[in-house]
């Protein structure tokens, strides 16, 4: 029924998934969000996936519909319980002071 709602059949596509500290990144083929979560969990040895975010800005990807709109080779971050997304070190400095120097 989900496929009908989306109006298309999900097909396997390549994505990239990194862990919370970005020490490991893997290329993973998945057709659906749950598929990606399962494979990311295996590939990155994450025992229990609590969330899948967009690496670029920490957007949580919770729904199949949104997942299906993402382009090939989108980079995800997989989080375990208690872990948090953090901005990429390469990203342009955005209000560095407020982010980095809480007073």
Q: Of 44, 54, 52, which Cα lies nearest the Cα of 88?
A: 54
Q: Report 4-33 residues binding a second copy (CB under 8 A).
A: 5-6, 12-14, 16, 24-29
E-strand ranges in 1-103 read 13-18, 25-30, 49-54, 75-80
Selected from 20, 58, 80, 83, the binder of a second copy by CB under 8 A is: 58
Selected from 3, 34, 50, 66, the binder of a second copy by CB under 8 A is: 66
Q: List helix spans (H) across the chain.
A: 2-6, 33-43, 64-69, 96-100
Smallest distance, a second copy to C-beta of residue 21, A? 13
Nearer to a second copy, 21 or 72 (CB): 72
Please answer whether residues 80 and 19 qualify as being in contact, where contact means their C-beta atoms are separated by less than 8 angstroms. Answer: no
Which residues bind to a second copy, rule: CB under 8 A? 5-6, 12-14, 16, 24-29, 43, 54, 57-63, 65-67, 69-70, 72, 75, 87, 89-97, 99-101
């Amino acid at each position: 029924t989900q496929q009908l709602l989306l109006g298309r059949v999900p097909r396997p596509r390549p994505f990239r998934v990194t862990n919370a500290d970005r020490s490991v990144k893997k290329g993973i083929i998945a057709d659906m969000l749950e598929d990606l979560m399962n494979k990311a969990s295996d590939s990155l040895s994450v025992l229990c996936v609590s969330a899948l975010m967009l690496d670029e800005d920490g957007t949580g990807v919770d729904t199949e519909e949104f997942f299906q709109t993402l382009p090939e080779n989108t980079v995800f971050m997989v989080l375990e319980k208690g872990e948090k997304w953090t901005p990429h070190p390469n990203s342009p400095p955005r209000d560095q002071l407020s982010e980095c120097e809480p007073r």
